[in-house]
Every structure is written in structure tokens, then in C-alpha cells.
Amino acid sequence: MHEINLRRIDLNLLTVFEAVYEEQSQVKAAERLGMTQPAISHALGRLRHLLGDRLFQGRARGLTPTGQADDFYKRVHQALELIRAELAERSTFDPATSQRTFIVAMDYAGGALLGVRLFQRISAVAPHVRLVLRSIDPGEEIPGLLREHRLDLAFNATRFDDDMLEQPIVLESQLRVVARKDHPRINADPTMAEFLAERLVVAHVSMIKTENAALNEFLRQVNQQAAMEVPNAMLLPLVLESTDLITVTTALLAAAMRERFEVEHYPIPEPLASASVQSYMLWHRSMTADPAHRWLREQFQAVLDSSMDPTG
């Protein structure tokens, strides 16, 4: 087998190849790497000559890898990840002196309930770290923003079909019916018939998706039945206090509403009372071994663990 002299090869070609393969676009790869598109094209040309394969078919936008490119990517990505992990382990992150800015995506309710707690936890040990919260609408933009490192972390109710994202379940919560405390009809655990007889208020967000088909159908019916829609979940308790409308939300948000407003919450009707919805922490795999990013994930997970409603 012919041995290749690595000293004569620009190993930066491998990072270019990895980016083009993952982005399926020379333009997006150039943006990700901070290079010009012609420089990306030139690097691919050199790698094509070296490997004797086209690597990609198509134009600068919407590239399709060849079979050899698929095989080559698996080996290149694994090797680069090992290098990144080794370098990350040797680098250090000192929260006490860091001036890093972390950008975290979550919806308005998550920002109000969890964002403040995350800031308090971070600032207690990292006084110079800046926390930026973003509400991403539409949510389909989240994978691209993570890929481009315009987001560090996302807390989301749905997962994405993207192999380059880590997306563990970090929170499971049952759903609750919420109504004002002196509601004329909803003052105990409602039956399905009692629930369906009421008018609802919902927040303008994408419907929660779960693996429970019956729960999905229930949530779809909730949205269809809504008599009022508000821009975000933080307006729900204000509406509930002043009307006979009711709503459905997570146990975490329902408990927070009851602490601050004249509302009460109850289990959603049987047979769905024990069903739960999941929330995910998302980040790009290239950041997994980064010490600062790992520290951020640990802080956020600690906030989630401390925020869990013991009643579910």
C-alpha cells in the first residue's frame, strides 16, 4: 500500500471537507469556518485530486456526497473529534475569571422561570460571564444557529432530525389544567366532559409533540377549542385571573403560576392524567468536549433538577 507523506498535505483540508459534508453547502461551510467560498472550492479541488474522487455532486448549494465521501467522512470526523477532545481536555475554563458570553435559546416561559435561575446560579460563581436568552421563532432555525455557533444551547419541547446535534431528554413533566381560584365550575379534578365544556386560552407556540398519540390528539383538540390566543405563556395567568377561560400547560409552569397569581391547577382528565411531555437540551456535537460549554450544560441541568415540581 502506498504510504502518503502527511508533511506534504495541508490537514486543514480535512476540516473544510468535514464542514462541507455536514452543511451540504460550500456557502454555509465558508460562513461556518470564516473563509471565502472560493477558498472552500479550492480546498475541495485539492482534496478531490488527492483522493481521486468527486466527493460531492451538485452545485455550491445543495451538495450530495458520493459513496467514497460518506466513508471518508466517518473516518475524518472520528479523527477530528478525537483531536478536539484531547485539546479540550488540556484547555481550562475558570468560571471565576471568564468573560465569556453564553447564548441560550428557550421560549418566553422558560426564560422567565429557568433563565433567571440560570443567571443566578452562573453569576454566583462566574461574576463576569454574560448570559443572553433568545426566543427563536420559528423553532426550525435552532439547528442552523447551533451549527453556526450563534447559539450555545437550546431548551426545546421537540427534537430535530439532525445527526450533528446532541438532544438528550432533560425534563419530563405532566400537563395540568389551570383556572382561576374562584372559577364557577373548575374547582376540582375535571372530567373530560367537564374540560371539553369549557372555553380555553392558549399561547401562540407550536403544539407540543409527544410519543403518546392520545395525548397528541388531546392537545390538538385543545388548540382547536381555544377561544383566545395570546403571544406567549407569561400572559396566560393574567387572562385566567380575569376570565372563566382555562388552559393546559406543564406542571412546572402551572406551579409557578399558582405561586404568583390567583389560579389553581389540576391534573388533565383521565385517562391522560399520568401522561408526560419531554423537554430537550440541544447543542452541536462539536461543543461536547469544550470545558466552558460542558460547565454551562452542568449549570443548566442543575437548574432543571432544582426546578422539578415534586407533584409532577
Task: Give percent of the chain above pLDDT 70.
Answer: 90
Both 66 and 198 in one domain: the answer is no
Residue 235 lies in a domain: yes
Does some domain include residue 140?
Answer: yes
21 and 63 in a common domain: yes
Whether 78 maps to a domain, the answer reads: yes
Q: Is 167 found in the same domain as 32?
A: no
Rounded to 5°, the CA angle 197-107-244 comes to: 25
Q: Tell me, what's the pLDDT at 312?
A: 39
Domain boundary among 59, 90, 121: 90
Identify the pLDDT of residue 6: 56
Type of residue found at 191: T
149 and 22 together in one domain: no
Q: 164 in a domain, yes or no?
A: yes
Asked if the model's pLDDT at residue 178 lies above 70, the reply is: yes
Q: Is 1 part of any domain?
A: no
- CA 280 to centroid of chain Cα atoms: 6
What does the pLDDT read at residue 7?
59
47-99 pLDDT tens trace: 998 888 899 988 655 788 899 999 989 888 888 877 776 666 556 789 999 99
pLDDT reported for residue 5: 55
The radius of gyration computed from the CA coordinates of the chain, to the nearest angstrom, equals: 24
Rounded to whole angstroms, the Cα distance separating 8 from 11 reads 9
The pLDDT score that the predictor gives to residue 113 is 80
Q: Which domain holds residue 13?
A: 6-90
In a domain, 38, yes or no: yes
Rounded Cα distance between 135 and 155, Å, is 10
Q: Give the model's confidence band at 208: pLDDT under 50 very low, under 70 low, under 90 confident, else very high.
A: low
- Shared domain check, 157 and 113: yes
The answer to whether 101 and 129 have CB atoms below 8 angstroms apart is yes
- What's the mean pLDDT in 98-119? 87
Q: What is the mean pLDDT of residues 221-227?
A: 85
Query: 58 and 149 share a domain?
Result: no
Residue that terminates a domain, selected from 72, 90, 108: 90
DSSP 3-state of 228: strand
Q: Cβ contacts of residue 153 below 8 Å, gap of 6+? A: 102, 103, 104, 105, 281, 282, 283, 293, 296, 297, 300
119 and 83 in a single domain? The answer is no
- Whether residue 104 is predicted with pLDDT greater than 90 in this model: the reply is yes
- pLDDT of 302 over the 70 cut: yes
Residue 125 has a pLDDT of: 95
For residue 200, which of 234, 177, 217, 169 has the smallest C-alpha distance? 177
pLDDT digits (tens, 9 = 90+) for 118-139: 999 999 999 999 999 998 878 8
pLDDT for 96: 93
If you average pLDDT over every residue of the chain, what do you get? Answer: 85
The pLDDT value recorded for residue 83 is 78
Q: Residue 159's domain is classified under what CATH number?
A: 3.40.190.290
Shared domain check, 310 and 165: yes
Lowest-confidence segment of 136-140, 196-200, 207-211 by average pLDDT: 207-211
CATH number, domain of 28, equals 1.10.10.10
Indicate whether 176 and 307 sit together in one domain. Answer: yes
Inform me whether the pLDDT recorded for 1 exceeds 50.
no
Residue count of the chain: 312
What are the pLDDT digits (tens) for 263-292? 999 999 888 888 888 889 999 988 888 889
Q: Do 177 and 277 share a domain, yes or no? A: yes
Assess whether pLDDT exceeds 50 at residue 310: no
Considering the domain architecture, whether residues 169 and 209 belong to the same structural domain is answered as: yes
At 78 the pLDDT is 82
Stretch 227-250: mean pLDDT, rounded?
91
Instruction: Tell me the pLDDT band of 12, cut-offs 50, 70 and 90.
Output: confident
Higher pLDDT, 115 or 113: 115
Question: How many domains are there within the chain?
Answer: 2
Q: Are residues 46 and 127 in the same domain?
A: no
Percent of the chain with pLDDT over 90: 33
- Please identify, among 55, 90, 125, the residue that sits at the C-terminal boundary of a domain: 90
Alpha carbons 217 and 214: distance in angstroms, whole number:
5
Lowest mean pLDDT among 53-67, 185-199, 251-265: 53-67
